[in-house]
Structure 1
Amino acid sequence: MTNPGSLEPRHCKLCGASAASQTIHLPSTTIQVCRECDFHFIDYLDPLPPAETEQHKELDEKSWKYIEERLGIGEGELVWRLRLVEKYCSLPGTRCLDIGAGVGQFLLLLRAAEALGIGIEPSRLRRLFARKKFDLHLEGQTVESPIWRDKYRATFDLITLWDVIEHVNFPAETIQSTFTVLKPGGVLFLDTPSREVLPYRISLWAHRLSGGRISLFLPGYYSTLPYGHKQIFTPRQLAQCVEQAGFEVLAQGAGYDELLGMRPPLLRPKNKIILVARKPGGEEGANGKPTPPPETP
Structure 2
Amino acid sequence: MAHPGSVVVNIRPKPANFVRRAILYDNRTGNAVSTSAAKVGGPTQLMRHCDLCGATSFQPLPFYYLFDGQRLQGTRCTHCDLAFLDPQPTPAQLEKLYGKEYFTERPNYDRTEKDKAFIEEGQDLDLSKVQEDKFTRYMQQHYPGRKFRYLEVGCGPGYTLKSLQSLGWETHGLEISAHAADYARRELHLPVVTGNIETTEDFHENQFDLAYLGDVLEHLLSPAAAIRKFGRILSPGGLLVLALPSVTNLPSMRLGFAAYKALGRQRRMDIPPYHLYEFTPTTIRQMLAKNGFSVIDLQNPVKAPAHIRLGGNPLEQLTKLGTQYPTYWLNKLTGRFGDRMFVVARNEKQPATSRA
Q: TM-score, normalised by structure 2?
A: 0.63
Is 1:81 paired with 2:135? yes
Which residue does the alignment assign to 2:340? 272
Which residue does the alignment assign to 2:295? 249
Q: Matches of 2:164 and 2:131 in 1, distance apart?
A: 14
Matched position secondary structure for 2:201 = helix
What's the CA shift for 1:204?
A: 1.2
Show CA shifts across 1:33-52 (max 9, x none). 1110111100143553499x
CA shift in 2, pair 1:250/1:77, >3 Å: farther
Which residue does the alignment assign to 2:54? 16
Gaps of 5+ in 2: 1-25, 39-44, 67-71, 106-115, 303-327, 352-356
Is 1:112 paired with 2:150? no
Matched position secondary structure for 1:9 = coil
Is 1:67 paired with 2:118? yes
Q: Matches of 1:21 and 1:180 in 2, distance apart?
A: 33
Matched position secondary structure for 1:166 = helix
Q: TM-score, normalised by structure 1?
A: 0.74
CA shift in 2, pair 1:282/1:158, >3 Å: farther
Q: Matches of 2:282 and 2:100 in 1, distance apart?
A: 41
Matched position secondary structure for 2:275 = coil
Which residue does the alignment assign to 2:18? none
What's the CA shift for 1:130?
A: 2.3
Gaps of 5+ in 1: 257-264, 284-297
Which residue does the alignment assign to 1:182? 234
Q: Matches of 2:64 and 2:350 in 1, distance apart?
A: 47
What's the CA shift for 1:127?
A: 1.4
What's the CA shift for 1:69?
A: 4.3
Which residue does the alignment assign to 1:230? 276
Matched position secondary structure for 2:172 = strand
Is 1:162 paired with 2:230? no
Written as runs of structure 1 = structure 2, the 5 A alignment for 1:89-168 is 89=143, 92-145=146-199, 147-148=201-202, 151-168=203-220
CA shift in 2, pair 1:165/1:281, >3 Å: closer
The count of corresponding residues between Structure 1 and Structure 2 is 259
Rg comparison, structure with higher value: 2
Q: Matches of 2:64 and 2:296 in 1, distance apart?
A: 36
Q: Which one-letter code corresponds to 2:180 in the other structure?
A: R
Which residue does the alignment assign to 1:211? 264
CA shift in 2, pair 1:69/1:233, >3 Å: same
Which residue does the alignment assign to 2:16? none
Paired-residue identity, %: 24
Matched position secondary structure for 1:248 = strand
CA contact (8 A) 2:119 2:157 kept: no
CA contact (8 A) 2:131 2:163 kept: no
Is 1:201 paired with 2:251? no
Matched position secondary structure for 1:31 = strand
Q: Matches of 1:209 and 1:15 in 2, distance apart?
A: 28
Q: Matches of 1:58 and 1:238 in 2, distance apart?
A: 30
Show CA shifts across 1:156-202 (max 9, x none). 11110111011111111111111111100111100100121344323
CA contact (8 A) 1:179 1:246 kept: yes
Q: Matches of 1:42 and 1:77 in 2, distance apart?
A: 34
CA contact (8 A) 2:73 2:87 kept: no
Show CA shifts across 1:110-143 (max 9, x none). 2111110100001011112323443334111222
Q: Matches of 1:249 and 1:58 in 2, distance apart?
A: 35
Which residue does the alignment assign to 2:80? 37
RMSD over equivalenced CA pairs, Å = 3.5
Q: Matches of 2:350 and 2:131 in 1, distance apart?
A: 30
Matched position secondary structure for 2:74 = strand
What's the CA shift for 1:68?
A: 3.4
CA contact (8 A) 1:91 1:110 kept: no
Q: Matches of 2:158 and 2:298 in 1, distance apart?
A: 25
